[in-house]
Amino acid sequence: MRRRVRWGMIGSGGVFTRHTVVEGLLAANHAELVAVCDVGNELERAVRSEHFIRSVGSIDELLRVGIDAVLVASEDSVRAEHVERAVRSGKHVLCEESPGHDPAQTRRIIGLCHKNGVLLGSAFFLRFLPFGETLLPFVGLLCCF
């Protein structure tokens, strides 16, 4: 049997309200949601409680609980900092949206990932929703799905 990837989550308000990522991780045979770090809302606390997900008080604590990877779903103003902290601690990162504020910062984060031997992924799932497909011709983007 393959080893399960142990996930931590930073900033989870929107992810918990959409009922997608958490339920997906909980149902996956190859993944385990170990802990979440966020100052959450009632829905988030209820989901944590229902699924017995550990809540930690700081990012440093989250990075020490024996996780392999981090889902960074924090707000734009702090996302790059959270990604960098996870990468520097040797954790693989899946980032909601872009990890950096601009291309230069994103390139620097990618370089940091290479230096630390970790993987970085970005989850732009909204582009797959119907309104995303409707907008593509208007913004002139060429996307390969």
Q: Is residue 113 a part of any domain in this protein?
A: yes
Q: How many domains does the chain have?
A: 1
pLDDT in tens, 104-116: 999 999 999 999 9
Q: Is residue 145 a part of any domain in this protein?
A: no
Task: Note down the domain range covering 87.
Answer: 5-139
Q: Is residue 135 a part of any domain in this protein?
A: yes
The predicted pLDDT at position 88 comes to 97
Q: Is residue 144 a part of any domain in this protein?
A: no
The 3-state DSSP class for residue 80 equals: helix
DSSP 30: T
d(CA 79, CA 99): 6
Q: What residues are paired with 6 via a beta bridge? A: 32
pLDDT in tens, 5-62: 999 988 865 665 555 677 777 788 888 888 888 755 555 566 666 667 788 888 999 9
Q: Which residues contact 94 (CB under 8 A, 6 or more apart)?
A: 69, 70, 71, 72, 121, 122, 123
d(CA 138, CA 63): 41
Which tokens hold the place of 142?
Answer: 């060429």
d(CA 56, CA 64): 10
Average pLDDT in the chain: 80
The pairs formed by 119-126 with CB atoms below 8 angstroms and a separation of 24 or more are 119/92, 119/93, 120/83, 120/87, 120/92, 120/93, 120/95, 121/93, 121/94, 121/95, 122/94, 122/95, 122/96, 122/97, 122/98, 123/94, 123/95, 123/96, 123/97, 124/97, 125/20
Of the pLDDT bands very low, low, confident and very high (cuts 50, 70, 90), residue 143 is very low
The predicted pLDDT at position 127 comes to 58
Q: 144 or 70, which is more confident?
A: 70
CATH number assigned to the domain comprising residue 22: 3.40.50.720
